[in-house]
Chain A
Protein backbone atom coordinates (compact mmCIF):
# COMPACT_ATOMS: atom_id res chain seq x y z
CA UNK A 1 0.00 0.00 0.00
CA UNK A 2 1.23 3.48 -0.86
CA UNK A 3 1.54 6.00 1.95
CA UNK A 4 2.76 9.55 1.57
CA UNK A 5 2.80 12.65 3.73
CA UNK A 6 -0.13 14.92 2.92
CA UNK A 7 -0.17 18.53 4.07
CA UNK A 8 -3.73 18.78 5.41
CA UNK A 9 -3.26 22.49 6.12
CA UNK A 10 -3.36 23.08 2.38
CA UNK A 11 -6.91 24.22 1.56
CA UNK A 12 -7.06 21.78 -1.39
CA UNK A 13 -6.11 18.73 0.71
CA UNK A 14 -8.57 18.23 3.59
CA UNK A 15 -8.36 14.73 5.16
CA UNK A 16 -9.83 12.34 2.57
CA UNK A 17 -9.41 14.77 -0.32
CA UNK A 18 -11.34 17.75 -1.63
CA UNK A 19 -13.74 15.72 -3.80
CA UNK A 20 -15.17 13.73 -0.90
CA UNK A 21 -15.63 16.96 1.08
CA UNK A 22 -17.55 18.53 -1.80
CA UNK A 23 -19.80 15.46 -1.78
CA UNK A 24 -20.14 15.66 2.02
CA UNK A 25 -21.29 19.29 1.84
CA UNK A 26 -23.74 18.53 -0.97
CA UNK A 27 -25.23 15.73 1.12
CA UNK A 28 -25.35 17.84 4.27
CA UNK A 29 -27.13 20.67 2.48
CA UNK A 30 -29.62 18.24 0.89
CA UNK A 31 -30.50 16.53 4.17
CA UNK A 32 -30.37 19.86 6.00
CA UNK A 33 -32.88 21.45 3.60
CA UNK A 34 -35.20 18.43 3.88
CA UNK A 35 -35.05 18.55 7.69
CA UNK A 36 -35.78 22.28 7.69
CA UNK A 37 -38.79 21.54 5.45
CA UNK A 38 -39.90 18.84 7.90
CA UNK A 39 -39.69 21.26 10.84
CA UNK A 40 -41.62 23.85 8.79
CA UNK A 41 -44.43 21.39 8.02
CA UNK A 42 -44.32 20.25 11.65
CA UNK A 43 -45.10 23.81 12.71
CA UNK A 44 -48.20 23.76 10.46
CA UNK A 45 -49.52 20.50 11.98
CA UNK A 46 -48.16 20.39 15.54
CA UNK A 47 -50.60 17.79 16.90
CA UNK A 48 -50.22 15.37 13.96
CA UNK A 49 -46.42 15.55 14.13
CA UNK A 50 -46.40 15.08 17.90
CA UNK A 51 -48.80 12.13 17.77
CA UNK A 52 -46.82 10.58 14.89
CA UNK A 53 -43.48 11.10 16.61
CA UNK A 54 -44.84 9.21 19.62
CA UNK A 55 -45.47 6.23 17.30
CA UNK A 56 -41.72 5.95 16.74
CA UNK A 57 -39.55 3.97 19.12
CA UNK A 58 -36.96 6.50 20.37
CA UNK A 59 -35.01 3.66 22.00
CA UNK A 60 -34.49 2.09 18.56
CA UNK A 61 -33.30 5.47 17.29
CA UNK A 62 -30.92 5.86 20.23
CA UNK A 63 -29.51 2.32 19.89
CA UNK A 64 -29.02 2.93 16.16
CA UNK A 65 -27.13 6.14 17.00
CA UNK A 66 -24.92 4.11 19.34
CA UNK A 67 -24.30 1.55 16.57
CA UNK A 68 -23.25 4.25 14.11
CA UNK A 69 -21.08 6.07 16.64
CA UNK A 70 -19.37 2.80 17.59
CA UNK A 71 -18.85 2.00 13.93
CA UNK A 72 -17.44 5.50 13.35
CA UNK A 73 -15.09 5.11 16.31
CA UNK A 74 -13.68 1.84 14.95
CA UNK A 75 -13.35 3.43 11.52
CA UNK A 76 -11.33 6.30 13.02
CA UNK A 77 -8.95 4.03 14.94
CA UNK A 78 -8.60 1.69 11.95
CA UNK A 79 -7.29 4.62 9.87
CA UNK A 80 -4.88 5.40 12.71
CA UNK A 81 -3.66 1.79 12.58
CA UNK A 82 -3.13 2.03 8.83
CA UNK A 83 -1.11 5.22 9.22
CA UNK A 84 1.18 3.24 11.53
CA UNK A 85 1.43 0.70 8.67
CA UNK A 86 -0.34 -1.97 10.75
CA UNK A 87 -2.42 -3.41 7.90
CA UNK A 88 -3.61 -6.49 9.81
CA UNK A 89 -4.99 -4.40 12.66
CA UNK A 90 -6.59 -2.04 10.11
CA UNK A 91 -8.38 -4.95 8.44
CA UNK A 92 -9.66 -6.35 11.76
CA UNK A 93 -10.94 -2.94 12.87
CA UNK A 94 -12.52 -2.38 9.47
CA UNK A 95 -14.47 -5.61 9.88
CA UNK A 96 -15.71 -4.41 13.29
CA UNK A 97 -16.69 -1.10 11.63
CA UNK A 98 -18.73 -2.95 9.02
CA UNK A 99 -20.27 -5.23 11.66
CA UNK A 100 -21.75 -2.25 13.52
CA UNK A 101 -22.92 -0.80 10.20
CA UNK A 102 -24.77 -4.06 9.59
CA UNK A 103 -26.22 -3.89 13.13
CA UNK A 104 -27.62 -0.46 12.23
CA UNK A 105 -29.21 -1.84 9.07
CA UNK A 106 -30.59 -4.86 10.95
CA UNK A 107 -32.31 -2.74 13.60
CA UNK A 108 -33.54 -0.26 10.99
CA UNK A 109 -35.06 -3.11 8.97
CA UNK A 110 -36.82 -4.40 12.09
CA UNK A 111 -38.11 -0.89 12.80
CA UNK A 112 -39.36 -0.54 9.20
CA UNK A 113 -41.10 -3.92 9.38
CA UNK A 114 -42.80 -2.89 12.64
CA UNK A 115 -43.98 0.42 11.18
CA UNK A 116 -45.35 -1.25 8.05
CA UNK A 117 -47.10 -3.87 10.20
CA UNK A 118 -48.71 -1.06 12.24
CA UNK A 119 -49.87 0.64 9.03
CA UNK A 120 -47.57 3.67 9.15
CA UNK A 121 -46.48 3.53 5.50
CA UNK A 122 -44.96 6.40 3.51
CA UNK A 123 -48.30 8.00 2.62
CA UNK A 124 -49.88 7.74 6.10
CA UNK A 125 -49.36 11.46 6.83
CA UNK A 126 -46.80 14.24 6.25
CA UNK A 127 -44.68 13.19 9.23
CA UNK A 128 -44.34 9.63 8.00
CA UNK A 129 -43.66 10.80 4.44
CA UNK A 130 -40.65 12.72 5.78
CA UNK A 131 -39.72 9.87 8.12
CA UNK A 132 -39.60 7.28 5.31
CA UNK A 133 -37.94 9.51 2.72
CA UNK A 134 -35.20 10.83 5.01
CA UNK A 135 -34.39 7.59 6.79
CA UNK A 136 -34.53 5.48 3.61
CA UNK A 137 -32.26 7.95 1.81
CA UNK A 138 -29.87 7.67 4.75
CA UNK A 139 -30.07 3.86 4.70
CA UNK A 140 -29.05 3.95 1.01
CA UNK A 141 -25.97 5.96 2.02
CA UNK A 142 -25.11 3.39 4.70
CA UNK A 143 -25.47 0.60 2.11
CA UNK A 144 -23.21 2.46 -0.34
CA UNK A 145 -20.75 3.07 2.51
CA UNK A 146 -20.66 -0.66 3.30
CA UNK A 147 -19.97 -1.46 -0.35
CA UNK A 148 -17.11 1.07 -0.38
CA UNK A 149 -15.62 -0.34 2.86
CA UNK A 150 -15.89 -3.90 1.51
CA UNK A 151 -14.06 -2.78 -1.62
CA UNK A 152 -11.35 -1.13 0.53
CA UNK A 153 -11.02 -4.32 2.61
CA UNK A 154 -10.46 -6.53 -0.43
CA UNK A 155 -8.38 -3.86 -2.17
CA UNK A 156 -5.93 -3.60 0.69
CA UNK A 157 -5.80 -7.38 1.11
CA UNK A 158 -4.31 -7.82 -2.37
CA UNK A 159 -0.61 -8.66 -2.56
CA UNK A 160 0.33 -5.72 -4.77
CA UNK A 161 -2.34 -3.37 -3.52
CA UNK A 162 -2.65 -0.03 -5.29
CA UNK A 163 -5.00 1.32 -2.60
CA UNK A 164 -3.55 4.53 -1.18
CA UNK A 165 -3.97 6.04 2.26
CA UNK A 166 -5.98 8.83 0.66
CA UNK A 167 -8.39 6.24 -0.82
CA UNK A 168 -8.91 4.82 2.66
CA UNK A 169 -9.32 8.29 4.19
CA UNK A 170 -11.88 9.23 1.53
CA UNK A 171 -13.83 6.02 2.22
CA UNK A 172 -13.65 6.71 5.96
CA UNK A 173 -14.89 10.29 5.38
CA UNK A 174 -17.89 8.92 3.45
CA UNK A 175 -18.63 6.51 6.30
CA UNK A 176 -18.39 9.28 8.90
CA UNK A 177 -20.70 11.39 6.72
CA UNK A 178 -23.40 8.78 7.41
CA UNK A 179 -22.83 9.45 11.14
CA UNK A 180 -23.06 13.22 10.62
CA UNK A 181 -26.35 12.92 8.73
CA UNK A 182 -27.81 10.57 11.34
CA UNK A 183 -26.72 12.94 14.15
CA UNK A 184 -29.04 15.53 12.56
CA UNK A 185 -31.84 13.10 11.68
CA UNK A 186 -32.11 11.37 15.06
CA UNK A 187 -32.97 14.35 17.32
CA UNK A 188 -35.32 15.98 14.82
CA UNK A 189 -37.28 12.90 13.73
CA UNK A 190 -37.29 10.93 16.99
CA UNK A 191 -37.13 13.58 19.73
CA UNK A 192 -38.08 17.10 18.65
CA UNK A 193 -41.80 17.06 17.80
Chain B
Protein backbone atom coordinates (compact mmCIF):
# COMPACT_ATOMS: atom_id res chain seq x y z
CA UNK B 1 0.00 0.00 0.00
CA UNK B 2 2.74 2.41 1.07
CA UNK B 3 4.78 1.39 -1.99
CA UNK B 4 1.82 1.92 -4.33
CA UNK B 5 1.24 5.41 -2.89
CA UNK B 6 4.93 6.24 -3.40
CA UNK B 7 4.81 5.08 -7.03
CA UNK B 8 1.61 7.11 -7.58
CA UNK B 9 3.29 10.16 -6.01
CA UNK B 10 6.37 9.90 -8.26
CA UNK B 11 4.15 9.56 -11.35
CA UNK B 12 2.08 12.59 -10.25
CA UNK B 13 5.22 14.71 -9.82
CA UNK B 14 6.54 13.63 -13.23
CA UNK B 15 3.21 14.42 -14.93
CA UNK B 16 3.04 17.87 -13.29
CA UNK B 17 6.51 18.79 -14.56
CA UNK B 18 5.63 17.34 -18.00
CA UNK B 19 2.45 19.52 -18.13
CA UNK B 20 4.45 22.66 -17.35
CA UNK B 21 7.06 21.82 -20.00
CA UNK B 22 4.39 20.96 -22.60
CA UNK B 23 2.73 24.34 -22.10
CA UNK B 24 5.87 25.97 -23.53
CA UNK B 25 5.36 24.15 -26.85
CA UNK B 26 3.19 25.86 -29.44
CA UNK B 27 1.74 22.75 -31.10
CA UNK B 28 -2.05 22.67 -31.74
CA UNK B 29 -2.95 19.70 -29.53
CA UNK B 30 -0.85 20.69 -26.52
CA UNK B 31 -3.96 22.00 -24.68
CA UNK B 32 -5.69 18.64 -25.09
CA UNK B 33 -2.58 16.84 -23.88
CA UNK B 34 -2.38 19.07 -20.77
CA UNK B 35 -6.05 18.39 -20.02
CA UNK B 36 -5.60 14.64 -20.43
CA UNK B 37 -2.62 14.67 -18.05
CA UNK B 38 -4.79 16.55 -15.53
CA UNK B 39 -7.51 13.87 -15.91
CA UNK B 40 -4.95 11.15 -15.23
CA UNK B 41 -3.64 12.99 -12.15
CA UNK B 42 -7.16 13.60 -10.88
CA UNK B 43 -8.05 9.91 -11.14
CA UNK B 44 -4.72 8.85 -9.58
CA UNK B 45 -5.30 11.06 -6.51
CA UNK B 46 -8.91 9.93 -6.10
CA UNK B 47 -8.21 6.22 -6.53
CA UNK B 48 -4.88 5.95 -4.71
CA UNK B 49 -4.66 8.74 -2.11
CA UNK B 50 -8.40 8.88 -1.36
CA UNK B 51 -8.64 5.08 -1.53
CA UNK B 52 -11.52 5.18 -3.96
CA UNK B 53 -10.19 1.95 -5.48
CA UNK B 54 -11.67 0.19 -2.42
CA UNK B 55 -15.07 1.89 -2.77
CA UNK B 56 -18.31 0.79 -4.36
CA UNK B 57 -18.24 1.10 -8.21
CA UNK B 58 -20.87 3.86 -7.94
CA UNK B 59 -18.32 6.28 -6.46
CA UNK B 60 -15.65 5.31 -9.00
CA UNK B 61 -18.05 5.92 -11.89
CA UNK B 62 -19.12 9.26 -10.38
CA UNK B 63 -15.53 10.54 -10.05
CA UNK B 64 -14.35 9.33 -13.47
CA UNK B 65 -17.62 10.51 -15.05
CA UNK B 66 -17.25 13.97 -13.53
CA UNK B 67 -13.68 14.53 -14.68
CA UNK B 68 -14.35 13.16 -18.19
CA UNK B 69 -17.49 15.29 -18.57
CA UNK B 70 -15.58 18.35 -17.36
CA UNK B 71 -12.75 17.71 -19.83
CA UNK B 72 -15.10 17.15 -22.77
CA UNK B 73 -16.99 20.40 -22.02
CA UNK B 74 -13.76 22.41 -21.63
CA UNK B 75 -12.31 20.97 -24.83
CA UNK B 76 -15.56 21.53 -26.74
CA UNK B 77 -15.62 25.22 -25.72
CA UNK B 78 -11.86 25.73 -26.18
A residues apposed to B, CB below 8 Å: 8-11, 14-16, 21, 25, 28-29, 32, 35-36, 39-40, 42-43, 58-59, 61-62, 65-66, 69-70, 72-73, 75-77, 79-80, 169, 172-173, 176, 179-180, 183-184, 186-188, 190-192
Contact = CB atoms under 8 A, between A and B. Distances in A.
B70 A184 contact: yes
Contacts of B27: none
A15 B52 CA distance: 7
B74 A72 contact: no
25 contacts: A14-B55, A29-B66, A43-B77, A43-B78, A58-B20, A61-B20, A65-B16, A66-B13, A66-B16, A69-B9, A70-B9, A73-B5, A76-B5, A76-B51, A80-B5, A176-B49, A180-B45, A183-B42, A184-B42, A186-B16, A186-B19, A186-B38, A187-B38, A191-B19, A192-B78
Interface in B11-62: 12-13, 16-17, 19-20, 22-23, 31, 34-35, 37-38, 41-42, 45-46, 48-52, 54-56, 58-59, 62
Given A9-B55, A32-B66, A39 B49 contact: no
Contacts of B49: 72-73, 75-76, 176, 179
A36 B74 contact: yes
A69 B66 CA distance: 21
Q: Which 6 A-B pairs have the closest CB atoms?
A: A191-B23, A73-B9, A15-B51, A76-B49, A62-B20, A8-B54
B56 A180 contact: no
Contacts of A36: 70, 73-74, 77
Given A62-B17, A180-B42, 9 more contacts: A9-B55, A25-B62, A36-B73, A40-B77, A61-B20, A65-B16, A79-B51, A183-B38, A191-B34
B78 A9 contact: no
B54 A15 contact: yes
Contacts of B8: 73
A53 B49 CA distance: 30
Nearest to B24: A58
A184 B39 CA distance: 8
Contact of A183 (B23, B41, B50, B55): B41
